[in-house]
Amino acid sequence: MAKQKPINHYMRLFHRYLGFFLAGIMAVYALSGIVLIFRSTDFLKKEVHMEKTIASNLPIEKIGKALKVKGFKVEKKEGDIYHFKQGTYDSQTGVAKYTLKKLPFVLDKMTHLHKATTKDPLFALNIFFGVSLLFFVISSFWMFLPGTKIFQKGLYFTLAGILLTLLMLFL
């Protein structure tokens, strides 16, 4: 009769191969997360000139939403032309000419991972990734035998990581 392997054998096995599988996903998340830190700046962004026709005679409050311009604010009006920081909107024709600052295509797609909601097919990848990371946290405690010096040190490092995160969150 074959001897049943202990749970730590399977935890180590799943931890190892899931880790190799997720290495690429983690690299993309890490890079896009770093880029997102600078989202309120123009770091890595390039100017994109846009010309879009939207409904004419829109109320001021709806122009920014229709153009998807963040922080939209009309600075002045000359006749039928509304001037805003990024460009102009002709209320008679509905033509808006403006400039946006966007990340290069690949970086924009990568950062979209972090912004995915349940309305986006990427949310399934985000859930899988989050659950996988949670598995990594749990399975890492099966890498070393409890009671060993390295396991005890690992617990101290885990506690330090939790405390540092809480400290950063609440300060």
Question: Looking at residue 1, what is its pLDDT?
Answer: 63
Question: Looking at residue 132, what is its pLDDT?
Answer: 93
Mean pLDDT of the chain: 92
Q: What percent of the chain has pLDDT over 90?
A: 77
Q: E strands of 46-86, at which residues?
A: 46-53, 74-78, 81-84
Question: Looking at residue 5, what is its pLDDT?
Answer: 87
Start-to-end Cα distance in the chain = 58
Q: Which two tokens stand for residue 136?
A: 């990594």
Supply the DSSP symbol for 48. Answer: E
Digit-coded pLDDT (tens) for 148-164: 999 999 999 999 999 99
Digit-coded pLDDT (tens) for 78-119: 999 999 999 999 999 999 999 999 999 999 999 998 889 999
Q: What is the dihedral of CA 22, 23, 29, 35, to 10 degrees?
A: -170
Give the pLDDT band (50/70/90) at residue 70. Answer: confident
Place of tokens 């659950």: 131
Place of tokens 């690299």: 27
> How far is CA 66 from each of CA 57, 73, 94, 102, 103, rounded to the nearest angstrom?
12, 13, 11, 18, 21
Question: Looking at residue 115, what is its pLDDT?
Answer: 87
Give the pLDDT band (50/70/90) at residue 2. Answer: confident
Task: Give the residue, 1 or 109, on which the prediction is more confident.
Answer: 109
Read off the pTM.
Answer: 0.73
For residue 144, pLDDT over 90 is answered with: no
